[in-house]
Structure 1
Amino acid sequence: MLWIVLALLLFIIQIAFVIIIEYQRPGKAVVWLIVLFILPVIGFLLYLFVAKEYLCPPALSRTDKGRWDGLKDDLRTRSRQRVLKDLHGKFIVQDDNLYALLKNIPVAPITACNETTVFVEGEQAFEAMLDAIAASKHHIHVEFYIIRDDQLGIRFEQLLIQKAQEGVKVRFLYDGIGSRQLGKAYLKRLRNAGVETECFFPLLTSFFHKRLNYRNHRKIVVVDGNIGFFGGLNIGDEYLGNDPKFGYWRDTHFSIKGDAVLWVQYTFLSDWHLVTGQVITDPVYYPIQDSRGNELVQIVKSGPDETILELIFSLVVSAKKRIFIETPYFIPDPGVLLALKTAITRGVDVRMIIPAVPDKNLVYCATLSYVQELLQAGGRVYGYRKGFIHSKLIISDDLALSGSANMDIRSFCNQFEINAVFFDGKVVDRLLQDFYRDLEVSEEILQSDFEQRSMLQKMQNVFARLLSPLF
């Protein structure tokens, strides 16, 4: 009898611990309480190692902090001077409150003189990356969530080795969980050739340091500080459409020239510093840009310590005409979901494209439960049928936000992401055209589809919805 009392007391202590720690996040608290009921001891251990709030890295030394702050101030000054010249006579944002938010994002300002190229397929994007790397003279910075040792991965490996042997400085950063299958032989070949390789939060150390939940989801290539690439593509054959399950892979990726490259570079070197402790502020990595473009672009660096959630919320509430969304996963924050439903009530055209065939069944079940709410409010949702859609895009009237962040809680709060706000009509129009083309190969999901679900499917959606704050 005593052991029952002790077990009950221990269980009550675990519940109290979760409630005290998570009282400001009731949704997350409820999910972890469910996990505790299902797995009384294991669930608590998972909570301790997975749910801990992100701790910022140790403070920099006075010297390093001065160098870092000086770099940021210099980049901001350079960017703002060219923006003020380029902004003359232009009205770039549909809402004053949204413009105030964008103007005051603490890390990266709006930049001018940019030229953007949009890629919707992996082959085009990867060839552009490889061509830029082949032409490099000084340095190459590569950072991806997933890097595979397959045909595409080997092409990158061989070219990086070649450039390192030519004397180009090559830095290579990969995520410890996303690239957990990347073999030691692959990394050894890079290191032996002189490529500096680093792992962002390795699997084992992340577990014991309670950082398992905080992944680097960015996809970045910067060459000579003059051209940058970012977006949704990782390095792997499936992103070329060679996965037998999904076939065609639809994504959105960008190459960019101009002042925005400085902030893509800054994002990479911030991550490099977090992993290695190196503070790299040499001006050679931040050259004066000679781009003759006239596009305004804002690079938005986000993570567990600088969320993108406020920006997404503002894009939704400021929209007057349309909100078009493409995302492989739709697990919105309650505030974003309410803002979307309110926008529909205001008469805004809200449409969203998601995959018709999921890659993660549990996440897809949760996605459908949120989709049902949007449909009930009057929104329109489509399932992409041509293959798998991995594109991450929000078009709010005449602005667009795109990059690596999905429309889910992980991207909002837990993952390190890089996105860009595009102000230029040519870029936004191109993204609009891509969206309309995707609609042509998508099938609209109707409210009646949900009414015809079996009881088992409904229960799956309910269960997945309950766990969705953990996704």
Structure 2
Amino acid sequence: MLWITLALLLFIVQIASIIVVEYRRSNKAIAWVIIMFMFPLLGFLPYYFVAKEYSCYRTLQRKKNKQWEQFKNELIHRSKHRVTKHMRGDWPPEFNLHASLKNIPSLPITACNETTVYTEGKQAFEAMLESIAAAEHHIHIEFYIIRDDQLGTRFERLLIRKAQEGIQVRLLYDGIGSRLLGKAFLKRLRQAGVETGCFFPPLATFFDKRLNYRNHRKIVVVDGKTAYFGGLNIGDEYLGKDPELGYWRDTHFRLTGDAVLWVQYTFFTDWYLVKDQLITDSVYYPDQESYGKEWVQIVKSGPDETILELMFSLIVSAKKRIYIETPYFVPDPGILLALKTAVISGIDVRIIIPGVPDKKLVYNASLSYVQELLQLGVKFYCYQKGFIHAKVIISDNLACSGSANMDMRSFCGQFELNAVFFDGKVVDRLLQDFYRDLSVSNELTLPEFKKRSTIQKLKEVFARLLSPLF
């Protein structure tokens, strides 16, 4: 009897601790309480190790010196100077409709950019490999997932060759996303002279209680003049070779122009966090040779600088249309309310989600939001050609895309890199891609969706309750 009483007291203390610590994040508190009731006493262990509020940013702020902050200000000044010199300071009219973008605590809106959009892995990877092969000074690569497969081997061999030619090669990979990457793969790179870094190694971050915070960015920067980013990781499945998912539809970008400086800056902030090396040499931030006419804003986000405000701003400022493509649709209450308000106001709101999911739990959580939004007039489509991994928001004449999904993890728990595109050509291209995806998608209708089984509805309820945790 005594042991039962002590266990009950311990359980009550654990529940109380979660409520007190997570009172500002009620959705997350509810999810963890559910886990506690499912796994009494034992459920507190995963909470203790993975739910710690992210604090690296404050550590980084204490560590970084005035040189780093001064350097960022110099880059901002360079970007503004290019605007004045080559764009005559004429901000596009969309800035007035989306003035809040200029005040989002991120990186500045840049000018003189040129953008190439890729919708398939084969095109994007061939372009990346071509740029890497032509590198003359340095190559910086950062991916959430790197596989030791056919595609990974192509990158490995090319990076080894470039390092042996005397090119500086730096590579970052996420400790969880690339957990299957073998030591032999990394050893071969290091022996050739490639510098590597693991972002939050699993074992170390487990005991440091930061296991839940991952680096989801996908970056390639060559000579500080060409940058790639978007939704693609390095692996054969991103070429459509996964037998279960089949064709892989994604969105990736190639950038030249001043925006490249900020992709480079993002890479070096991560390099500093992992390797404790402060690199601000001007050779890595060369004068840009591109004199394009596109405006681009790089948006660097993480647990300490959320992308949620950007997505919310894009939705609430729309006047005509909001088109969303995302593999995972798990909006927070603010985004959900914004979407509801938009469609009630007569805005055309369309959302494309996968027809074939890669993660059943997240997919069920996504479906749990469909009926309430369908009832208000939001149109949902399930992509049928394969798996859609593109992450795109089109708000009137603006578009935002990159590595961030429309889910809680991307909002609050992962390091992401997106860009806002103001140029009509880029937005039109993303619109064309969206309409093309609609043509191979099945629209979800309210009468048909209501017919799903009771078991399916229960799965959705359970997944939604746990959704703040994934």
Short-chain TM bin: over 0.9
Q: Which residue of 1 aligns with 2:124?
A: 125
Distance in 1 (alpha carbons) for counterparts of 2:117 and 2:235 = 20
Q: Runs in 1 of length 4+ with deviation above 3 angstroms? A: 59-62, 87-92
Deviation at 1:19, TM superposition (A): 0.7
Q: Which residue of 1 aligns with 2:2?
A: 2
Please give the secondary structure, in 2, of the residue aligned with 1:437. Answer: helix
Q: Cα deviation per residue 1:397-421 (whole Å; 9 max; x = unaligned)?
A: 0000000000000000000000000
Deviation at 1:104, TM superposition (A): 2.3
Distance in 2 (alpha carbons) for counterparts of 1:249 and 1:214 = 26
Distance in 1 (alpha carbons) for counterparts of 2:19 and 2:281 = 47
Deviation at 1:454, TM superposition (A): 1.2
Q: Cα deviation per residue 1:304-349 (whole Å; 9 max; x = unaligned)?
A: 0000001100100000000000000000010000100100000000
Q: Cα deviation per residue 1:7-37 (whole Å; 9 max; x = unaligned)?
A: 1111110111011101111111111111111
Cα RMSD, aligned residues only: 1.2
Distance in 2 (alpha carbons) for counterparts of 1:364 and 1:148 = 24
Q: Which residue of 2 aligns with 1:235?
A: 234
Deviates more, 1:20-29 or 1:173-182: 20-29
Please give the secondary structure, in 1, of the residue aligned with 2:56. Answer: coil
Contact 1:357 1:388 in 2 (8 A): yes
AA paired with 1:93?
Answer: E
In the superposition, relative to structure 1, how do residues 384 and 40 fare at CA in structure 2: closer, same or farther (>3 Å)?
same
AA paired with 1:405?
Answer: A
AA paired with 2:299?
Answer: V
Deviation at 1:356, TM superposition (A): 0.2
Distance in 2 (alpha carbons) for counterparts of 1:182 and 1:359 = 20
Q: Which residue of 1 aligns with 2:44?
A: 44
Deviation at 1:84, TM superposition (A): 3.8
AA paired with 1:195?
Answer: V
**Correspondence 1:12 to 2:5:** no
Contact 1:94 1:398 in 2 (8 A): no
**Correspondence 1:91 to 2:92:** yes
Q: Cα deviation per residue 1:122-176 (whole Å; 9 max; x = unaligned)?
A: 0000000000000001000000000000000000000000000000000010000
TM-score using structure 2 length: 0.98
Q: Which residue of 1 aligns with 2:354?
A: 355
Q: Which residue of 2 aligns with 1:190?
A: 189
Contact 1:381 1:445 in 2 (8 A): yes
AA paired with 1:174?
Answer: Y
Distance in 1 (alpha carbons) for counterparts of 2:106 and 2:451 = 48
Contact 2:109 2:295 in 1 (8 A): yes
Contact 1:95 1:318 in 2 (8 A): no
Distance in 2 (alpha carbons) for counterparts of 1:107 and 1:411 = 16
Deviation at 1:89, TM superposition (A): 4.0
Deviation at 1:449, TM superposition (A): 2.5
Q: Any unmatched runs of 5+ in structure 2?
A: none
Contact 1:249 1:389 in 2 (8 A): yes
**Matched ranges for 1:17-32 at <5 A:** 17-32=17-32
Distance in 2 (alpha carbons) for counterparts of 1:90 and 1:358 = 41
Contact 1:320 1:348 in 2 (8 A): yes
Q: Cα deviation per residue 1:336-366 (whole Å; 9 max; x = unaligned)?
A: 0010010000000000111101000011001
Q: Which residue of 2 aligns with 1:35?
A: 35
Q: Which residue of 2 aligns with 1:71?
A: 71
Distance in 1 (alpha carbons) for counterparts of 2:219 and 2:60 = 26
AA paired with 1:92?
Answer: P
Q: Cα deviation per residue 1:217-256 (whole Å; 9 max; x = unaligned)?
A: 0000000000000000000011011111111110000000
Please give the secondary structure, in 1, of the residue aligned with 2:40. Answer: coil
Distance in 1 (alpha carbons) for counterparts of 2:162 and 2:135 = 8
Deviation at 1:90, TM superposition (A): 4.1
Q: Which residue of 2 aligns with 1:425?
A: 424
**Matched ranges for 1:204-353 at <5 A:** 204-353=203-352
Distance in 1 (alpha carbons) for counterparts of 2:302 and 2:195 = 24
In the superposition, relative to structure 1, how do residues 452 and 317 fare at CA in structure 2: closer, same or farther (>3 Å)?
same
Q: Cα deviation per residue 1:80-101 (whole Å; 9 max; x = unaligned)?
A: 12224526444332655x32x3
Deviation at 1:59, TM superposition (A): 4.5
Q: Any unmatched runs of 5+ in structure 1?
A: none
AA paired with 2:190?
Answer: R
Percent identity of paired positions between Structure 1 and Structure 2:
70
Number of corresponding residues: 468
Distance in 2 (alpha carbons) for counterparts of 1:382 and 1:153 = 33
Deviates more, 1:132-141 or 1:85-94: 85-94
